[in-house]
């Protein structure tokens, strides 16, 4: 038997003793506490049961127990003497167990003129950016499954994957997908209550509402949503326990009411070490999907998509050059195009050649510790001298083990130490395809992480080149 509200409209003789006790306690707590303290520490509490002389009370956070022991003990004792004529013992529980059915969920609302408050749902700022849609999201091998999951959610809220957890490095399209889901839902269901919010903003809003004593508005806003889109949830880590506690309660309220939650992070749930375990566990209830950096073809497609709004001509070799320079995320590509647009505007250019692009992005590439001055042939000569292989053999196609290693190391260093595009590097190695360069780079990169000897060899070659 669970009680979650006061019962001011019913005569006390109509109430059970448990109901009388809980109603009286809430009245005393309301008189004793400020509105903000009542809303935060009492509103979500529940009387689970009274068994013998022990009252079991649910609190939505174990950190609240000390507040109750310090500030509400007298109210509990007074209510127990008035109703039971004895001093009840009080036991606090912190998990919303099956003893507390979801049908009884809700707040112990503050009384007003002898009745429960019935405030209308607050208006919400969706926070969505209309420019992010599924139509202009460039799909590639690294994001195909994340996009598919996002589409599925946008078509069937809370019935397919709930929550949907998307993770990956910065600039890979996580924010784009969150906004695309929200925009698609509002297109299909215009009156849906949708909110996109970075985790940092959620934290700031919570603390501000708590400071102003407006927690009811905060809770009504977030717990009445049909779709909550939270970006960069890892930002919640390391915050005060009250902040994680509030998000935990918001998550539970929405999930138990079959409302959709979509989260993004820069790492998988298993690596969110600074978040409470019970939160991480809930993040894994639905589907977890990774986004990886775009491959060369996808980067070309992204560039083609983004230059449609620019008044400049980009030849294919310029696009290939740019796609070869930035392979970690989309944001770098966007930044490079902004640099190029600025230079083209100042110099009144119409066509963006490789030379123009290289000059425009020079500062950005220097930030990434790349250089423009080491010729690929010099790298080939240094690698060949180290491994006892000729430059002709490095450029050739023989598959002898020591030649293959030298060739792949030379390709790796050409990618690491120069500003040449992948196709250009491939051309300098006897006309190899850019995919061959990618394979060599990725292979040596992974070997360096585990092979100390190879790492020392490459460091030695780099010192001779610098």
Q: From first to last of its 466 residues, what are the pLDDT tens digits of the chain? A: 444 333 343 444 456 888 889 988 998 988 888 776 787 788 888 898 888 888 999 988 777 787 888 889 888 988 898 888 888 888 888 875 544 433 333 345 443 333 333 345 667 889 999 999 999 898 888 888 899 999 989 887 777 788 999 998 888 899 999 999 999 999 988 888 999 999 989 998 888 888 888 888 898 899 889 999 999 998 888 666 788 888 998 999 898 888 999 999 988 898 888 888 888 999 989 899 999 888 888 888 989 988 988 889 999 888 888 888 877 778 888 888 988 998 888 889 899 988 888 888 876 665 544 444 578 999 999 999 999 999 999 999 888 889 999 999 999 998 888 777 778 888 899 988 888 888 888 889 888 878 888 888 888 888 888 7
pLDDT at residue number 262: 96
pLDDT at residue number 191: 85
**Strand pairing category for 89-93 and 260-265:** unpaired
pLDDT at residue number 365: 65
pLDDT at residue number 243: 85
pLDDT at residue number 170: 84
pLDDT at residue number 227: 94
pLDDT at residue number 120: 59
Phi/psi at 453 (nearest 5 deg)? -65, -45
pLDDT at residue number 360: 86
pLDDT at residue number 14: 55
């Amino acid at each position: 038997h669970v009680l979650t509200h006061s019962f001011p409209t019913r005569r006390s003789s109509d109430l059970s003793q448990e109901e009388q006790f809980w109603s009286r306690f809430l009245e005393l707590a309301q008189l004793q506490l400020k509105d903000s303290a009542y809303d935060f520490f009492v509103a979500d509490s529940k009387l689970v049961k009274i068994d013998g002389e022990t009252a079991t009370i649910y609190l939505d956070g174990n950190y609240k127990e000390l507040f109750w022991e310090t500030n509400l003990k007298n109210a509990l004792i007074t209510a127990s003497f008035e109703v039971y004529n004895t001093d009840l013992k009080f036991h606090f529980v912190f998990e919303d167990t099956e003893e507390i059915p979801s049908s009884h969920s809700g707040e112990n609302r503050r009384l007003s003129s002898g009745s429960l408050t019935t405030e209308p749902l607050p208006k919400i700022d969706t926070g969505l950016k209309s420019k992010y849609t599924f139509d202009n999201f460039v799909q590639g091998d690294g994001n195909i499954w994340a996009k598919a999951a996002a589409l599925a959610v946008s078509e069937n809220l809370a019935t397919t994957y709930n929550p949907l957890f998307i993770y990956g490095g910065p600039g890979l399209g996580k924010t784009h997908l969150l906004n695309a889901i929200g925009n698609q839902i509002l297109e299909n269901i215009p009156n849906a209550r949708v909110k996109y919010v970075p985790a940092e903003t959620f934290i700031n809003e919570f603390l501000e509402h708590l400071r102003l004593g407006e927690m009811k508005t905060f809770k009504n806003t977030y717990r009445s949503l049909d779709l909550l889109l939270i970006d960069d949830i890892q930002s919640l880590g390391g915050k005060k326990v009250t902040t994680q506690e509030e998000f935990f309660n918001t998550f539970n309220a929405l999930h138990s009411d079959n409302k959709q939650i979509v989260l993004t992070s820069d790492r998988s749930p298993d690596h969110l070490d600074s978040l409470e375990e019970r939160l991480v566990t809930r993040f894994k209830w639905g589907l977890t999907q990774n986004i990886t950096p775009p491959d060369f073809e996808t980067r070309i497609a992204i560039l083609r998509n983004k230059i449609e709004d620019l008044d400049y001509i980009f030849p294919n070799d310029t696009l290939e050059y740019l796609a070869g320079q930035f392979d970690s995320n989309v944001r770098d590509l966007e930044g490079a195009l902004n640099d190029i647009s600025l230079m083209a505007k100042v110099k009144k250019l119409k066509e963006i050649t490789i030379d123009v692009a290289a000059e425009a992005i020079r500062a950005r590439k220097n930030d990434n510790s790349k250089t423009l001055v080491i010729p690929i042939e010099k790298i080939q000569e240094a690698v060949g001298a180290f491994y006892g292989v000729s430059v002709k053999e490095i450029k050739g196609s023989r598959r002898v083990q020591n030649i293959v290693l030298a060739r792949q190391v030379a390709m790796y260093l050409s990618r690491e130490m120069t500003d040449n595009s992948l196709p250009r590097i491939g051309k300098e190695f006897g006309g190899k395809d850019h995919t061959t360069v990618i394979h060599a780079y990725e292979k040596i990169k992974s070997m360096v992480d585990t092979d100390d000897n190879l790492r020392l060899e490459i460091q030695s070659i780099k010192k001779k080149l610098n």
